[in-house]
Chains A and B, each alone.
Chain A
Amino acid sequence: KQEVTQIPAALSVPEGENLVLNCSFTDSAIYNLQWFRQDPGKGLTSLLLIQSSQREQTSGRLNASLDKSSGRSTLYIAASQPGDSATYLCAGAFSGGYQKVTFGTGTKLQVIP
């Protein structure tokens, strides 16, 4: 059974700080890993997608890495802003007949002005 874990569950940082969100998974047969942002009561916004053959992806102030051997992915946010406050979810797609996607429980980020 694939499990995806995110630690910490909540994080509060002052504006301008660089931060790292962690995601770990138990199945090394990962097809890809996707990071999402979710605002309260809303759907999920795709931030970055890393294929299993890649080590990292970057978009603006965001950088995501993937280490299949250790079962870890990180999302690095540079120069955090109050608008970054949201819940961040990682989701692993695992091989096996079809792409079953397993989500972590998320990290709730608050950036304090």
Chain B
Amino acid sequence: ETGVTQSPTHLIKTRGQQVTLRCSSQSGHNTVSWYQQALGQGPQFIFQYYREEENGRGNFPPRFSGLQFPNYSSELNVNALELDDSALYLCASTQEFNNEQFFGPGTRLTVL
């Protein structure tokens, strides 16, 4: 167990809809990162939050947005869903003394 939880486990949406995915980091981990993992690929970095501020972003359009809250929870929001958004979405919290990342179990999003 990594102490990082994600909800929901699975989600089915239709094209054009909006979705919110949730993550609860380990207590004391001020950095949370979100990744998208397509089938058979390595995770792709979406963005990173540190103390409720976005401090880094990968090559994802603005319809991917996030929030981080003081209680170590965070959200990934995706607007105007496209078929290619179907993937496993992973969040990871970072242990600050050595920068080790701990991942949650992921949310499997299917867009029809």
Contacts and interface: CB of A to CB of B under 8 A. Distances in A.
B99 A104 contact: no
Interface string B1-27: 010101000000000000000000000
Nearest to A89: B42
A101 B33 CA distance: 9
Interface in A51-98: 51, 89, 91, 93, 97-98
Interface residues of B, number: 30
A101 B103 contact: no
Given A44-B43, A105-B41, A49 B100 contact: yes
Contacts, number: 68
B58 A98 contact: no
B104 interface: yes
Interface of B: 2, 4, 6, 33, 35, 40-45, 48, 50, 55-56, 58, 88, 90, 92, 94, 98-106, 108
29 contacts: A4-B42, A32-B98, A32-B99, A34-B100, A41-B88, A42-B105, A43-B4, A43-B6, A43-B90, A43-B104, A44-B90, A45-B103, A46-B2, A46-B101, A46-B103, A51-B98, A89-B42, A89-B43, A98-B48, A98-B50, A99-B94, A100-B56, A101-B33, A102-B45, A103-B35, A105-B40, A105-B41, A105-B42, A106-B42
